[in-house]
Amino acid sequence: METEIRHLELNGYVGFDSLPYNYVTRAKRKGFVLNVLCVGESGIGKKTLMDSLFKTTLETDEDVYYSNHTVFKSNAYVIKEQNISISLNLCRTVNYGDDMNRKDSLKAITDHVDRKFELYFQQELNIRQKPFDDFRIHVCLYFVCPTGVSLKPLDVMCMKMLAGKLNLVPVIAKADTMSMHELGKFKENILKELKRNNVQIYYGPLDEPPVEKLNAELNSRAPFAVVGSTDFVIVDGEQRRARKYPWGIIEVENEEHCDLPKLREMLIQVNLEDLIEKTHHVHYEMYRKTRLERMGLTDSDVSDGLIALYKMLNDKCNKQTAKLAVEESEIVRKMEARMRFILKELDKEERDMRDKFREMEEDYLQQKRAIKEAEDRLNEEIVEFRRMVGGMKKAGSSHNLLSSSSHNLLFSIGKRK
């Protein structure tokens, strides 16, 4: 049920009119963090554009060209303007698009963006670590090659993937290489191609009164056609950042020559806060949600902050332990059943062997008895034979008779054996 909000008059001074002042003082003291990623092929003018955009010389180390894999080069700077400091983290691709397999370039970039989100996510999980370091990329400048035709397939694929992860601002690099007419056509083609592929690039908000008109104008310049230079030329007695050609001078800060001043206005003067907020509330939120889902959690699990998250992780841990205990007892039960089965089998085998042994023993005894009986019978016959021989000797019977009867007796013994 919704509570009715009552509007009250104050009877005296309370002091919350100083809140905006406090907010500004705090913001001044803390400064801002801006993380920029520049994606574009080698030599397209990333470094020169950053120098021109921030009106300084951003020192960098030597680039690595020996590998043909997309890598990233990061440099951190602190720049100050009238007591307001910005921690600027600039990161640019090296060897982008040089991979044998173009998909490797894309994967390297998504992994890089996700790694930055992950660092922030890990800080959120770690209750003791405060305040947070923000490594998340607030804006990505995608450098489009000034072909004058349209986007290349790699540009479309990469921008499509990036647009879902961060604030994507495409820029037409080295715009001085195209005539005004070519540039207008090229911008049109790029926007059509982006629309056809459903790539949502960053536009300044049109629903915030102080900046809506400004943004309407700035947004109409997209994609920004930029020119960068590290050289300075004297024009009307004034030193200006420019590119000098035999036929004339292109001034980086001249809005009639290129969109660089408008790009700076859009990114820093008008929409810096919006870029940071969108990074946090839209892009990081998306990453966080997916990440939590991968951990088996939902957003409502963590809605009450870290304590709730820890409590819920603890619950999950307890549930997991209980589940493991059930699984363990099931394994023990199965193993015991298997042991019982094996013991039963062994028991049966032992009984079978005993029966077999008993049978063999009986066989043996029977044979032994049969041999004994045969031996007894033989002994009786020998005794009978001797008795007969003795009787014959006494009766003086003939030698032939004796020899034939003894032959018969010996024959019958031999047969029995």
Residue numbers at the binding site for ligand GTP (CB under 6 A): 40, 42-48, 63, 94, 174, 176-177, 227-228
Q: Is 47 in the site for Mg ion (CB under 5 A)?
A: yes
The number of residues that bind Mg ion (CB under 5 A) is 1
Q: Which does 222 bind (CB under 5 to 8 A by kind): Mg ion, ligand GTP, none?
A: none
Q: In the block, which residue shows the tokens 């999950």?
A: 316
The smaller minimum CB distance to ligand GTP, of residues 75 and 123, is found at 75
Q: Report the residue number whose CB is nearest to ligand GTP.
A: 45
The smaller minimum CB distance to ligand GTP, of residues 95 and 215, is found at 95
Tell which positions 75-134 bind Mg ion, by CB under 5 A: none
The smaller minimum CB distance to Mg ion, of residues 47 and 116, is found at 47
We find the least distance from the C-beta atom of residue 110 to Mg ion, in angstroms, to be 24
We find the least distance from the C-beta atom of residue 275 to Mg ion, in angstroms, to be 25
We find the least distance from the C-beta atom of residue 52 to Mg ion, in angstroms, to be 13
The smaller minimum CB distance to Mg ion, of residues 61 and 236, is found at 61
Tokens of 108: 């390297």
Q: Is 187 in the site for Mg ion (CB under 5 A)?
A: no
We find the least distance from the C-beta atom of residue 169 to ligand GTP, in angstroms, to be 16
The smaller minimum CB distance to ligand GTP, of residues 134 and 251, is found at 251
Question: Alpha-carbon distance 46 to 294, whole Å?
Answer: 36
The smaller minimum CB distance to Mg ion, of residues 47 and 241, is found at 47
We find the least distance from the C-beta atom of residue 89 to ligand GTP, in angstroms, to be 16
Which of the stretches 46-54, 90-98, 145-153, 408-416 binds Mg ion when contact is defined by CB under 5 A? Answer: 46-54
Question: Alpha-carbon distance 311 to 279, whole Å?
Answer: 28
Which of the stretches 43-51, 75-83, 128-136, 143-151 binds Mg ion when contact is defined by CB under 5 A? Answer: 43-51
The smaller minimum CB distance to Mg ion, of residues 47 and 257, is found at 47
Tokens of 388: 């007969």
Which of the stretches 42-50, 76-84, 116-124, 191-199 binds Mg ion when contact is defined by CB under 5 A? Answer: 42-50
We find the least distance from the C-beta atom of residue 254 to Mg ion, in angstroms, to be 24
We find the least distance from the C-beta atom of residue 72 to ligand GTP, in angstroms, to be 11
We find the least distance from the C-beta atom of residue 45 to Mg ion, in angstroms, to be 8
The smaller minimum CB distance to ligand GTP, of residues 42 and 412, is found at 42
Question: Alpha-carbon distance 268 to 218, whole Å?
Answer: 12
Give me the residues that bind Mg ion (CB under 5 A), please.
47
